[in-house]
């Protein structure tokens, strides 16, 4: 197998893939070996620019995929540190084992949770009672 490098690949299907790749010479017929290929899509909103990242083949548990050269329109090596960072962050998040839970998530302050209904009712009653006494 040849040297590994990060590349953006445009397939004949129209898909654009970002992956760590190597080129394997198979009896004179080169093959592209992609490791953990992903797709990236740039989204623009009023909050700024975001990148949506997902696995190229979402239902597969394989890490390596082989593509014949005739299925590739173009391929370019990239050394863009931001893209490589996004790629590695996505892979690190993907490989974290999900914890078994009941499916219930306890709200936190970052989700907008400030207090329980009982605590909020007590505070509002105190404010109301104080305004009546004034």
| Residue-level pLDDT at 100 | 55
The class that CATH gives domain 5-96 is mainly beta
Residues 116 and 113: their CA atoms lie apart, in Å, by: 8
Q: What tens digit of pLDDT does each residue of 11-59 get?
A: 999 999 999 999 888 777 888 999 999 998 888 988 888 888 999 998 8
Q: What is the pTM of this model?
A: 0.64
The ranges assigned to domains in the chain are 5-96
**In the chain, % of residues over pLDDT 90:** 35
């Amino acid at each position: 197998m040849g040297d590994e490098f990060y590349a953006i690949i445009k397939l004949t299907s129209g898909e654009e893939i970002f992956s760590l790749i190597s080129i394997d010479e198979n009896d004179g017929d080169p093959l592209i070996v992609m490791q953990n290929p992903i797709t990236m899509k740039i989204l623009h909103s009023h909050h700024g620019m975001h990148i949506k990242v997902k696995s190229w083949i979402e239902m597969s548990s394989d890490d390596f995929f082989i593509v014949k050269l005739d299925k590739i329109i173009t391929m370019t090596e990239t050394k863009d540190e931001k893209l490589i960072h996004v790629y590695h962050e996505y892979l690190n998040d993907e490989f974290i084992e999900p914890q078994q839970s009941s499916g219930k998530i306890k709200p936190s302050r970052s989700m907008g949770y400030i207090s329980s209904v009982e605590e909020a009712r007590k505070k509002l009653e105190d404010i109301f009672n104080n305004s009546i006494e004034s």
